[in-house]
Structure 1
Amino acid sequence: MSWLEKPVKALLLDISGVLRDGDQAIVGSLEAFQRLQEIGIPFRLVTNETQVTVQKTVEKLSKLGFTSISPSLIFAPAPAVATFLKETLSRAFLLVHPNVLPEFDGIETSDPNCVVVGDAAEHFNYSRLNEAFRVLLRLREENKEMQLYSLGKGKYYKEEDGLCLDLGPFTAALEYATGADARIFGKPNPVFFHAAVQDMKMSPDEVVMIGDDILGDVGGAQRAGLRGVLVRTGKFRISDENHATVKPDGIVDNLLQAVNLIMSHYN
C-alpha cells in the first residue's frame, strides 16, 4: 500500500460519499470519525457542498452523530468565493441555491460584473441560466472580462434516491455558450486543497485526501501534491478503480478501513 509507506500526519475528508449519503451516515463512518478524534490525527473536511451554508452542514452532521465539529474545520467553496468577491469589490449575479445565500450576505448584486454558479439543484432552470448567460454576454459586448466563478465542477453526486447532476454540466453550458473560462473555487482546484493543508500547518506530502470522487477528490488532491485514496462508497463506480487518467494511491472499502489501516501501520 504505497499511500502508507510515508507517515500520514493529517487527513482531508470529503463529506458526501465518505461520511454520509444523504441523511444517513455511511456504515463505519461514525466509528472511524470517533477513532480519528481519539488518536488526535489532524483533519479537515473539504466539500463542494453548495446547497447549504457551512453552519447548516455542521448541524446536519451533528444530527447524524458526528460531534465536536466546528465550522472552522470545514472548507467549502461558497465562503471562499464570498471572501474573494468582497476583496475585489465585485457585483455578482448569484446562480446558487437559496439555502446558501446567507454565505453571500453583503455582496452587491445590482449591475453585476460577474456570475457565480453553485449547485442550485431544482433552481437550475432556463430562466435563471439565461439570465447568467446574458450577464456574461453583456460583459463581452462592453469589452469587459467575462468573469464566471464556479463553486466546483463535479459531474454528479449521490443522494439516497440515486445519482444527481452536479453543477459541472451547468458551468460547462455557460462556458460553451459564451466562450468564458470558469474559475473553479472548490475541488479540484489545488488552491482549495492547499488552503486546508496550510490551515493544519502541514505540507501537502504529509496529507492524505480520502474521497469518493475519482476526479475531484483523488485526482485533484494528487495534482496538489497530496496522496489520494478512493473509497468504495458514495458515488464510487467499479470503473473508477481502472480510470483512464487517475490512479489512486490507495483504494479502501470505506473510511473505517482507511482509518484502521493508518492505525495498524503506525502503532
Structure 2
Amino acid sequence: MNWLSKPVRGLLLDITGVLYNSGEGDGVAIASSIEAVKRLQASDLKIRFVSNESSNTRAKLAAKLGRLGFEIQEEQLFTPAPAAASYLRQHGLRPHLLVHPGVQDEFAEFDMTDPNCVVMGDAEREFTYQNLNTAFQLLIKLDRPQLITLGYGKYYMETDGLKLDVGAYAKALEYACDIQSLVIGKPNAEYFSAAVADMQLTIDETVMIGDDILSDIGGAQKAGLRGVQVRTGKWRPQWENHPIVTPDGIVDNLAEAVNLLLAQNAA
C-alpha cells in the first residue's frame, strides 16, 4: 500500500461519510467506525477530524457525535465556520449569511448591517430562490464582491441518498456575478496544513482519510499529504479509475484503514 510506505504519526479524518451518514435526527454511524475511532484514540497516533460540516457549531457537532457513540473532543474538530469567522475578523468584513441556522452562533459577534461580503455554507432548506437571489443582489452591487464558502463540495451522502452541497449553489452565484469563491475548508490546502500544524506534525507524517475523492483526497494530495479513499459515504465505484485523482490507497471503510495502519506500526 503506497500510503504506508512512509511512517504515519497523525491522521486527518473526514467526518460525514467516514464516521457517519447524516440524515433524520443525528444520522447513522457507519458500521465499525465507532470501534475504529476508539482504537485510534487508544494508540499513540495524533488525530484531527477535518470536516466541511457547516450545519452545526463545533460544540453541537461534538455533542451529536457523542450521541452516536463517538468519544471526540471539541478541540479535535476542524470545521470551516470558526476559520471563516477569523478571516472576517482579520479583514474587517460585515457578512451577509446564507448558512444553516445551526451554525449562525459562530458569527454572532459580527455587524451585519450594510454587508460587504456573503458567507455561504451548507444551508440545506435555506437554499431557496429568494435567499440565493438576495445574496446575488448584494454581491452584484458591490464594487469588489466577495463570496466566502464554507467548503466547496458537490454533494454529500445522507441516509436517504445523495444531497446537493454548497459548491453547487456557489457555482450559480459565481456564474451570475463573474467572481470566484474564497473557499474556507476542504479542498483548500491551507485548511489541511492548519490541521497538521495543530498536531505539531509535518505533512510527510500525516495521512488524510475521506470519502470525497476531490475535496478530501485531491485536496489533501495538493497540500502534500497522502490521501486514502474509503468506499463509504458518497463513494462512487467509477472512482476506482478517476480521471483526475489517484488515491494513495483505497479501503472499504475506516476500520480497514485502521487495521492496516496499526498492524504496520506494530511490525
Relative to the length of structure 2, the TM-score reads 0.97
2:36 pairs, out of 27, 32, 36, with 32
Task: Report the counterpart of residue 10 of structure 2 in structure 1.
Answer: 10
Task: Report the counterpart of residue 138 of structure 1 in structure 2.
Answer: 141
Q: Aligned to 2:125, what secondary structure does the other structure show?
A: helix
Whole-Å separation in 2 of the counterparts to 1:85 and 1:179: 22
The answer to whether 1:109 aligns with 2:108 is: no
Whole-Å separation in 2 of the counterparts to 1:39 and 1:202: 16
Task: Report the counterpart of residue 226 of structure 1 in structure 2.
Answer: 225
What is the root-mean-square deviation in Å for CA atoms of aligned residues? Answer: 0.7
Residue 173 of structure 1 deviates from its aligned partner by 0.3
Task: Report the counterpart of residue 185 of structure 1 in structure 2.
Answer: 184
Residue 38 of structure 1 deviates from its aligned partner by 1.0
Residue 201 of structure 1 deviates from its aligned partner by 0.7
Residue 184 of structure 1 deviates from its aligned partner by 0.2
The share of aligned pairs that are identical, in percent, is 53
1:91 pairs, out of 91, 94, 98, with 94
- What letter matches 1:194 in structure 2? S
Where do 1:76-87 residues align within 5 Å?
A: 76-87=79-90
The list of structure 1 runs, each at least 4 consecutive aligned residues, that deviate by more than 4 angstroms after superposition, is: none
- What letter matches 2:226 in structure 1? R
Task: Report the counterpart of residue 173 of structure 2 in structure 1.
Answer: 174
Q: Deviations over 1:172-193 (max 9, x none)?
A: 0000000011000010000000
User: Structure 2 unaligned runs (5+)?
Assistant: none
Residue 125 of structure 1 deviates from its aligned partner by 0.6
Whole-Å separation in 1 of the counterparts to 2:73 and 2:110: 24
Whole-Å separation in 2 of the counterparts to 1:106 and 1:163: 34
Whole-Å separation in 2 of the counterparts to 1:78 and 1:43: 20
User: Structure 1 unaligned runs (5+)?
Assistant: none
Equivalent residue pairs, number: 262
Relative to the length of structure 1, the TM-score reads 0.97
Q: Deviations over 1:123-169 (max 9, x none)?
A: 10111111110111110xxxx21111011110000000100000111
Residue 39 of structure 1 deviates from its aligned partner by 1.1
